């Protein structure tokens, strides 16, 4: 792995009224079912922070450390949930099942990501709370894992805490090498730098692991309960993709990151250089097509609409 991410190549363009007004560059790697590189663009070996695309890998580490949850709750541990009632109830259930207090959550207080859920909180006179934050499922899983292993509940987000050291070790095993940098993610947990090649390879391992393996448990939980991974509103792209494409495992992350895998087909990981989120899905659809993965859902998402006067007047489309 190189020391710096070198940046990518043109991947998408924004077309308004048949006029190209913006372009997005980035990097993308496509692995076949054997793990070999099938196609790529940009820098797929330089390190990037995968942000929330790493949550399934963190969940695998927790399961390896003894975390046992119902599949819907395990999906929530790997989620960037939208703060809808089922998500909040699920986080509270994960904590409450073993007497953990909600006040132990180390993620920052926030409003739900889903507009309807946020509006309901405000109408009820509520405010920001850690349990409403999109990473609270992961944090609840981390607390349960610490409790199971007798690790300190306080300070569980420190990079030298036993939980985080365990997660770092599992990351290295799944991605094929040690993290080249450690940062602090938006929720306060450590975020580990890896290559897109390593991220795609890890997602491929999740979908091709045998039944009963921690990797497969996480992948199956996310695919069986996609509503818990993101949500049910229009912006819950992870949910809509997994609902619409049989076998697809997908997890987005901040700053333009997205990773996906389909058993028997391969895996994809991508990074948009400017951190933009809007090109991710069109580029993912193009990458999956190179693996022979097609579905009506993907056809609908191939072009992301651009609006003018309340009507579609263009699109964000892949040029790769």
Which tens digits make up the pLDDT trace of 245-260?
999 999 999 999 999 9
Alpha carbon 15 to its chain centroid, in Å, reads: 27
Six token digits for residue 92: 């509270």
Domains: count for the chain? 1
Residue 182 within any structural domain of the chain: yes
Residue 207 within any structural domain of the chain: yes
Residue 2 within any structural domain of the chain: no
Residue 245 within any structural domain of the chain: yes
63 phi and psi, to 5 degrees? Answer: -65, -40
Six token digits for residue 31: 């692995």
In terms of Cβ atoms closer than 10 Å to its own Cβ (0-12, 13-18, 19+), residue 10 is middle
pTM of the entire predicted model: 0.96
Q: What Cα–Cα distance (Å) separates residue 34 from each residue in 201, 209, 260, 264, 291?
A: 10, 13, 15, 9, 12
Which residue stretches of the chain have pLDDT < 50? 1-2
CA–CA separation, 265 vs 150, rounded Å? 40
CA triple 159-164-168, angle to 5 deg: 100
Residue 1 within any structural domain of the chain: no
- Neighbouring-strand partners of residue 94: none
Per-residue confidence (pLDDT) for residue 240, from 0 to 100: 94
Residue 4 within any structural domain of the chain: no
DSSP state of 105: -
Could you tell me the CATH number of the domain that includes residue 44?
Answer: 3.40.710
The string over 165-182, giving b where at least 16 C-beta atoms fall within 10 Å of a residue's C-beta and e elsewhere, is ebbbebbeebbbeebbee
- By residue range, what is the domain housing residue 110? 9-318
Residue 101 within any structural domain of the chain: yes
Residue 46 within any structural domain of the chain: yes
């Amino acid at each position: 792995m190189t020391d710096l991410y070198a940046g990518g190549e043109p991947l998408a363009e924004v077309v308004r009224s048949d006029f190209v007004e913006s372009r997005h560059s980035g990097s993308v790697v496509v692995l076949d079912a054997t793990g070999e590189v099938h196609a790529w663009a940009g820098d797929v070996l330089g390190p990037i922070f995968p942000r929330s695309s790493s949550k399934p890998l963190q969940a695998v580490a927790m399961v390896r450390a003894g975390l046992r949850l119902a599949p819907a709750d395990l999906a929530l541990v790997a989620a960037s949930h939208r703060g809808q009632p089922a998500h909040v109830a699920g986080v509270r259930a994960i904590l409450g099942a073993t007497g953990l207090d909600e006040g132990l959550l180390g993620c920052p207080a926030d409003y739900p990501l889903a507009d309807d859920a946020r509006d309901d909180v405000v109408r009820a006179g509520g405010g920001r709370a850690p349990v409403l934050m999109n990473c609270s499922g992961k944090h609840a899983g981390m607390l349960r894992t610490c409790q199971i292993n007798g690790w300190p509940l306080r300070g569980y987000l420190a990079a030298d805490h036993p939980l985080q050291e365990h997660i770092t070790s599992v990351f290295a095993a799944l991605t094929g090498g040690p993290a080249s940098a450690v940062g602090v993610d938006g929720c306060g947990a450590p975020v580990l730098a890896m290559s897109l090649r390593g991220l795609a390879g890890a997602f491929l391992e999740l979908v091709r692991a045998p039944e009963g393996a921690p990797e497969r448990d996480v992948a199956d939980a996310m695919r069986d309960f996609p509503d818990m991974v993101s949500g049910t509103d229009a912006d819950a792209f992870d949910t809509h993709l997994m609902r619409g494409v049989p076998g697809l495992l997908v997890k987005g992350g901040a700053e333009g990151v997205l990773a996906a895998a389909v058993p028997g087909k391969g895996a994809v990981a991508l990074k948009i250089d400017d951190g933009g989120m809007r090109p991710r899905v069109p580029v993912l659809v193009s990458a999956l097509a190179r693996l022979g993965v097609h579905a009506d859902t993907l056809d609908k998402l191939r072009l992301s609409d651009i609006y003018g006067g309340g009507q579609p007047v263009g699109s964000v489309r892949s040029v790769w």
